Structure 1
């Protein structure tokens, strides 16, 4: 017997309301509320008016290539500045350099700065105090900051290239992409100095060529590289080229002197290891910053520097190494306002307690070895005889008697002193700052006393720290107590004849 049950399809037993939910509307009816193909097209067009951004748009390839950078490269190609990019030449902490071909400029190098992926973030020491950043910069916006950084390198390259220095010729700057002339032979890029194998003779030639370039860069272009080393120097056709000047600063920068000392040390150490005849990095530093060296006497000073290098032992002694380390960390004033006590240095020079070579700020400020006037002769041209007594005034006994008869000269010199210059005349600095009053006549015999500047300075400044706090060599405890006691007695005697301050003010007003 047959069954009364009827067979039903499997699909009719499954309830799927989601398939028809878009067709069901139970709101208040209004004309035209149903979507047609035209309304759908208008709605899609309205949505496409707004740009949707996601992480893919900010994705960076090779640490420099993102959508914005690709658009700028396309603009270079559309303007026929370049015909294409054909590979990466080098990568660095702040930028990548690519080889480009151009019908307009020939072989070129395209430097693309890193923006959001940059590793070199310690730029504050180069930026703080720089005139180009005097209005501030977007410290937390890497894209805005890198734009100013690229503009700075383009400006520095143009300044160096105009002065005749060997640097890549800057061609064009668009945003953070810098187009430069390619350095190399055909399509082979020029090697870095650190990768070049050279003899001691070639190293010596390159060293002295770089010394002149550093002098021109500082004195003519008014720039300090601030990162000069074998990693930022190229050798092309036997000549040395300077690259990577984005962090270069002016000599007025607060850290310019420290940057220059570091550059001189890096260059001197590298070429010394290569067997070149080099001078000490302190001598190189003083040659660059000496204001009395001009274009007229530069060649003479350069020859003198070479002679000094030829007579120098390449193997440094322990004392020389210590002196270099001390000079590296020493603070050097850039102007008179930064000198701690100029008057003290001035009098110590006059008394012969200090040598002109001890004052490292003297050539930077441009003063004479005795600090009495502006320097007219470079420091390197001073022979050993000319500055052994450059701080002392001396004359014969007959001339001292003649000077003693004239009250205009405050100094009496011994007959045994050597004389290097005409008779010393009191300078405006000495008259204004320090009162060096020497009693040249004796009340009893009416003769000239043989008093040196050092004795008179101690006599008139017995209350200064120089006499009290400087302990003589080999002084015992008993001698120290006796010396302190004598000082107290001298002060007590002076207080007896001291003029009250109110009486002194009245006399001054009258």
Structure 2
């Protein structure tokens, strides 16, 4: 879960300065040494120790002795920085309840100008190696904390939504800061949990949306029944951080996999037979 809202509200300006300094320094250090952090914040040792103690009590910062003594920003601290910025911008006013959990994300309702959705990207918590292999934005080598990988994931998704909306039925992108994307609320339920009354219409609509995205130069890259929302005959394609350009050398293979996933789901659940070659021709025509 993201950090409790009362923790964010209670943060002192000095504690925000510590979090921001850690965020900056963690691009160079896995664990930021105390003397480096002291120099960056310009705090006395006693003031810095007090602020670090409070942040560690709120599980925003962690301390480690191995391989050397140092401090690191963790997701609760990163959540706090993102929520603080989104609130200051006027994007959100309050954080609501958890409405969805993915392999690498948590999705919450929030209040902005009406109900909005906040998607907190959590890249690599399960398997660093699998993420490094699959994601083009992960560096080949070197230090890449999950925080910054999650920010890259959020930016990828936000950029896709901006490029696709409104031609493709996707959430409206509202804002993005660090690893958090703010977007419009989508009604309905996940396709994997629904039983639709006219599955052929929904399948056709999904394929049409894949086609429109393809025309805009984008392939979803991770499409399945788990990344489609449906409501009263409408559908929306969600979860876009793994998209690739149609010019990508593996784009055809990735597009084919997306289409196969959808066709197999509708065949398995609804008995709809739809030839892959026909579906592919419909998308790339």
Deviations along 1:170-209, one digit per CA (max 9) or x if unpaired, are 100011111000112xxxxx2000111123xx10111111
Q: In the alignment, which residue of structure 1 is the partner of 2:147? A: 143
Q: In the alignment, which residue of structure 2 is the partner of 1:388? A: none
Relative to structure 1, the CA distance from residue 166 to residue 120 in structure 2 (aligned partners, 3 Å threshold; closer, same or farther) is: farther
Relative to structure 1, the CA distance from residue 221 to residue 82 in structure 2 (aligned partners, 3 Å threshold; closer, same or farther) is: same
Per the TM alignment, residue 285 of structure 1 is displaced from its structure 2 partner at its CA by: 2.1
CA distance in 1, matches of 2:229, 2:127: 21
Deviations along 1:292-328, one digit per CA (max 9) or x if unpaired, are x3xxxxxxxxxxxxxxxxxxxxxxxxxxxxxxxxxxx
Please say if residues 206 and 239 of structure 1, whose CA atoms lie closer than 8 Å, have aligned partners that are also in contact: yes
- Corresponding position: 1:160 with 2:164: yes
Q: In the alignment, which residue of structure 1 is the partner of 2:135? A: 127
Q: Which runs of 5+ in 2 are unaligned?
A: 1-42, 63-73
Per the TM alignment, residue 284 of structure 1 is displaced from its structure 2 partner at its CA by: 1.5
Please say if residues 138 and 149 of structure 2, whose CA atoms lie closer than 8 Å, have aligned partners that are also in contact: no
Q: In the alignment, which residue of structure 2 is the partner of 1:282? A: 277
Deviations along 1:383-419, one digit per CA (max 9) or x if unpaired, are xxxxxxxxxxxxxxxxxxxxxxxxxxxxxxxxxxxxx
Equivalent in 188, 191, 203 of residue 189 of structure 2: 191
CA distance in 2, matches of 1:221, 1:246: 16
Alignment: residue pair count: 226
TM-score scaled by structure 2?
Answer: 0.71
Q: In the alignment, which residue of structure 2 is the partner of 1:170? A: 173
Per the TM alignment, residue 71 of structure 1 is displaced from its structure 2 partner at its CA by: 3.2
Equivalent in 199, 205, 210 of residue 214 of structure 1: 210
Please say if residues 175 and 183 of structure 2, whose CA atoms lie closer than 8 Å, have aligned partners that are also in contact: yes
Equivalent in 99, 116, 122 of residue 109 of structure 2: 99
Please say if residues 132 and 138 of structure 2, whose CA atoms lie closer than 8 Å, have aligned partners that are also in contact: no
CA distance in 2, matches of 1:262, 1:81: 36
User: Secondary structure of the equivalent of 1:216?
Assistant: helix
CA distance in 1, matches of 2:269, 2:139: 44
Relative to structure 1, the CA distance from residue 172 to residue 138 in structure 2 (aligned partners, 3 Å threshold; closer, same or farther) is: farther
Deviations along 1:325-375, one digit per CA (max 9) or x if unpaired, are xxxxxxxxxxxxxxxxxxxxxxxxxxxxxxxxxxxxxxxxxxxxxxxxxxx
Q: In the alignment, which residue of structure 1 is the partner of 2:125? A: 118
- Corresponding position: 1:108 with 2:116: yes
Per the TM alignment, residue 276 of structure 1 is displaced from its structure 2 partner at its CA by: 5.8
Please say if residues 193 and 233 of structure 1, whose CA atoms lie closer than 8 Å, have aligned partners that are also in contact: yes
Equivalent in 248, 254, 261 of residue 253 of structure 1: 248
Q: In the alignment, which residue of structure 1 is the partner of 2:45? A: 47
Please say if residues 157 and 241 of structure 2, whose CA atoms lie closer than 8 Å, have aligned partners that are also in contact: yes
Larger Rg: 1 or 2? 1
User: Secondary structure of the equivalent of 2:219?
Assistant: coil
Q: Which runs of 5+ in 1 are unaligned?
A: 1-44, 185-189, 294-510
TM-score scaled by structure 1?
Answer: 0.41
For the aligned residues, what is the CA RMSD?
A: 2.6
Relative to structure 1, the CA distance from residue 261 to residue 198 in structure 2 (aligned partners, 3 Å threshold; closer, same or farther) is: same
Q: Relative contact order (alpha carbons < 8 A, sep ≥ 6): 1 or 2 greater?
A: 2
CA distance in 2, matches of 1:262, 1:124: 20
Per the TM alignment, residue 269 of structure 1 is displaced from its structure 2 partner at its CA by: 1.1
- Corresponding position: 1:265 with 2:268: no
- Corresponding position: 1:88 with 2:86: no
Query: Greater share of strand residues, 1 or 2?
Result: 2
